[in-house]
Amino acid sequence: MRVAMQLETTFGGQLAPWHDFYALAGTAAATLMGLLFVALSLNPAVMADGSLVGLRAWAGQTMSNLIALLIVSLFCLMPDLDHPTLTTALVVVGLQGLVRGTIRLATAVRAHEPGALADLLWRQVLEMGKRA
């Protein structure tokens, strides 16, 4: 006897099994944003104009990535989520990350600080290595 599987017809229903994952990812992102804020508050010289541009850009990019993760998690936890809403959120978050990353890269290049660009790029390579 075959058991017929009932398929969810709504997009939000298809994401329902992932609810706990997105809740945990959003909670972790919010917690890490708080920890990054505390770490930068303990050493505010990192964000000063006279500090290393690469380190300041890396801290800013890390905060942007955590905010993006939090936003995506919140969207995925929305009840009655549909394809266009999630697509719009992902496009906006992706474009924002691309623009902010480009601005940070341009700032590091313009700084003419020895090793600023190499430091920023090396940190990005390390971040990509962690994701792989």
**Residue pLDDT, tens place only, 68-109:** 999 999 998 888 888 888 899 999 999 998 898 888 777 767
Q: What is the per-residue pLDDT across 13-67, written as a single tens digit (0 to 9) for each?
A: 788 888 899 999 999 999 999 998 898 888 877 777 666 666 777 788 888 889 9
> Is 61 in contact with 95 (CB distance < 8 Å)?
no
| pTM for the full predicted model | 0.69
Cα gap 87→35, rounded to integer Å: 30
Spatial neighbors of 112 by CB under 8 A, at least 6 apart, are none
**Domain boundaries along the sequence of the chain:** 18-131
